[in-house]
Amino acid sequence: MSHIHIDIEHVSFGYETNQNVLNDITFTAHENESIGIIGANGMGKSTLLKLLVGLELPTKGSIYVEEIPVIREMLPKVREKIGYVFQDSESQLFMNTVKEDIAFAPRNYGLPEEEVQAHVQRAMERTHIQHLKDKSIYKLSGGEKKQVAIATILAMTPDIILMDEPTVGLDPQNRRNLIKILNEFNHLKLIASHDLDMVYDTCNRVILIADGQIAADGIPQKILTDKELLECNHLELPLRFQA
């Protein structure tokens, strides 16, 4: 298996020609890293994830996923490597039952049915939702939908997982469940989030984006305890470090 990594080189992007959301972003994400992407609203966290999976393409610079360039004609190959869990989990769920939803992508890839079922079983075990397999998507709670959305991604056995605000709308118990699930994954993970306590609990590296650029990149213990750095970028210390 090739070494799992993402290379982002001098990437800039703007939705409007005269204004960039991201400016000259460069970093490499390595195998088994869990990277929290943090920053105030509108600083480009979600945009960065969209660029990595090719939902948007850079206006300047280049992105490589395991040596594959993220360009329009290579997107099917890129998306075999990356699973993307949207902020709004519901937009990822459209079949009648949980197991049908999880089976959809492996079936779509043309896997034999026996293999599809093995993928579904494994994804449900990893997200602890075996008990929900026959439940209607429309009867799930917010936390259950999030778990199912993650299972649909895992069923495709990606090397890399991207998550946009995974704890939004979760109650404390489901949030704890999600943290536990994330910590059991050995994927390369990039998690964009305002929930700095969750980032502290699940990530071994933090990248702070401010004004479209990387303002800090390092270990959570350093960045997430730096009150001055966070406040100057319109963020607050994680709750555990607040007096």
Which CATH number do you get for residue 20? 3.40.50.300
Domain count of the fold of the chain: 1
33-46 pLDDT per residue, tens: 999 999 998 889 99
63-67, 173-177, 217-221: which range is least confident on average? Answer: 173-177
9's enclosing H/E stretch is strand 5-13
pLDDT for residue 174 is more than 60: yes
Determine the pLDDT at residue 2.
52
Considering the domain boundaries, does residue 162 fall inside one?
A: yes
Q: Is 243 domain-assigned? A: no
Is 242 a member of any domain?
no
DSSP summary character for residue 37: E
pTM: 0.90
Q: In what order do the strands lie in the sheet with 213-218?
A: 82-85, 160-164, 188-192, 34-38, 205-210, 213-218
Identify the pLDDT of residue 88. 82
Domain assignment present for 205: yes
Nearest to 172 by CA among 196, 145, 143, 203: 143
Please indicate, yes or no, if residue 153 is contained in any of the structural domains: yes
Residue 150 is part of which domain span?
Answer: 5-236
